[in-house]
Amino acid sequence: MDFEVEAVYEGGVLRPVQDLPLAEGQKVTVSVRAAGSAVRRFCGSLRWTRDPEELGRYLEDADESAWGSRDV
């Protein structure tokens, strides 16, 4: 069974924001991806010194960018 769940990292522990359909003691594999806008995550990997909203407008405007409205 595969599913995604939002969690909050507090005190060294990932805490799901909702109940999970798992048996007590069941082992799982966890992949972590920062929540939030793809533009904000993308800005962190670039040397983008301008406003992240400006990059978002550029990426979402098909007339301005080859990216179109893709979620990067």
39 compared with 59, residue with greater pLDDT: 59
**Residue ranges in the chain assigned as alpha helix (H):** 38-44, 52-60
The pTM score is 0.45
10 compared with 57, residue with greater pLDDT: 10
Distance CA 8, CA 17 (A): 7
pLDDT at residue 45, as a whole number: 66
Mean pLDDT for the chain overall: 77
Residue 38 above 80 pLDDT? no
- Residue ranges per structural domain of the chain: 37-72
